[in-house]
Structure 1
Amino acid sequence: MIPPEDRRTLLRIAEQAVACALRGETYEPETPGEGALLERRGAFVTLERNSLLRGCIGRIASDEPLYALIPLMARDAAFRDPRFPPVTEEELPQLSFEISALGPARTIADPEEIRLGIDGLIVRHGSRTGLLLPQVATTFGWTKRQFLEETCEKAGLAPAMWKETATVEAFEAEVWRS
């Protein structure tokens, strides 16, 4: 579990990374001495403006510690999410930042193993991978089956591929926001 102070630090790092990039500056967070900021795990940064998605980028796993990964994902969410134009300086005060720190994935054999609102999903088939964070299913009010189908579609697969030859994994995530 990431302590509240480290959560606040990671949010500050994400916000500063985007603010510095908008000014054309490089942002290098200070290296922490110990603790959760040094954990090596996957993470996603989600940006919202007026409660609407504005960008979301992350990694399933990472060799980078969280304090170094979060600014990279924040910049990518702000400027490289192909679904949106780059964030502007005028938008910055209106943005809220959300961080999802991923736990280890486990293979799912039966949809009943999925815990809506707790588990995120990863569907893999060949070179295709789709991931949806735990909060997505509850935001849209999906059933377990809909969550699986939407994750397949995110991977560019047919919605029913989860029943066929795709590998389905679930993971927990610690999620917090500014």
Structure 2
Amino acid sequence: MSLTETQQNQLLALARQSIAHGLQTGRPLPVVVADYPAELRQTRATFVTLERRGQLRGCIGMLEAVRPLAEDVAENAFAAAFRDRRFPPLAAEELANLDLHISVLSPAVAMKFASEADLIAQLRPGIDGIVLQEGGRRGTFLPSVWEDLADPEQFLQHLKQKAGLPAAYWSDTIQAYRYTTEMFG
């Protein structure tokens, strides 16, 4: 799926409106899905990333597609601004200097690998988003994380830590899934 520039701009405006609505009401902007073109009504998973002065200010999303794209963006924008536990809720004066980025995810595909080295060899820097799962622990990095962690071995070590596992951890039951994103903003 490739969104037009107009559709991308619609989603970015919707994300900003949902955050502004949240500042006023404490709730995400209600979305009337029928008001949007067919592409924005498709069930898709997204992440919304907020940055302020080049620094991460919030990032929340869904790995599985469970609601229409426009609604997912509105919900995740609100959550990134007000529910990301790493940051205090967004203050009204921060909105003007907020940069928004939206990542629309492809469906995740299970990866098959025989060892940690095999998994590392299959990673595609700059292309893959990865979900790592072991038992009840799970973490993901969007493809944009490759900008900061370009080495596949480091990427995987940091992802293990994000999932709550030690960096050197490995087991034969660990699972990995790859996805790609269309990112804009």
The interval holding the TM-score normalised by the smaller chain is over 0.9
**Could you tell me which amino acid in structure 2 is paired with residue 155 of structure 1?**
A
Alignment of 1:28 onto 2:36: no
- Structure 1 gaps of 5+ residues are none
Tell me the TM-score normalised to structure 1 length: 0.92
Partner of 1:132 in structure 2? 141
Contact 1:101 1:173 in 2 (8 A): yes
* CA distance, structure 2, for counterparts of residue 59 and residue 25 of structure 1: 21
CA deviation digits over 1:28-82, x for unaligned, max 9? 2342454320121211000000010000000101220011111110111000000
Q: Output aligned runs, 1:83-162, within 5 Å.
A: 83-108=86-111, 109=113, 110-138=119-147, 140-162=148-170
* Distance change >3 Å, CA 30–CA 42, structure 1 → 2: same
State which drifts further: 67-76 or 141-150.
141-150
CA deviation digits over 1:71-130, x for unaligned, max 9? 110111000000000100000000000001110112232322211111111001111110
* CA distance, structure 2, for counterparts of residue 50 and residue 33 of structure 1: 31
* CA distance, structure 2, for counterparts of residue 95 and residue 121 of structure 1: 26
Alignment of 1:168 onto 2:170: no
* CA distance, structure 2, for counterparts of residue 124 and residue 161 of structure 1: 12
CA deviation digits over 1:127-150, x for unaligned, max 9? 111011000122x14311111111
Tell me the TM-score normalised to structure 2 length: 0.89
* CA distance, structure 2, for counterparts of residue 85 and residue 28 of structure 1: 23
* CA distance, structure 1, for counterparts of residue 38 and residue 30 of structure 2: 18
**Could you tell me which amino acid in structure 2 is paired with residue 56 of structure 1?**
C
* CA distance, structure 2, for counterparts of residue 145 and residue 98 of structure 1: 26
Partner of 1:42 in structure 2? 45
Runs of 4+ in 1 over 4 A off after TM superposition: none
* CA distance, structure 2, for counterparts of residue 43 and residue 102 of structure 1: 6
Superposition deviation, residue 23 in structure 1: 1.6
Partner of 2:116 in structure 1? none
* CA distance, structure 2, for counterparts of residue 171 and residue 121 of structure 1: 6
SS of the residue corresponding to residue 117 of structure 1 reads coil
* CA distance, structure 2, for counterparts of residue 23 and residue 42 of structure 1: 26
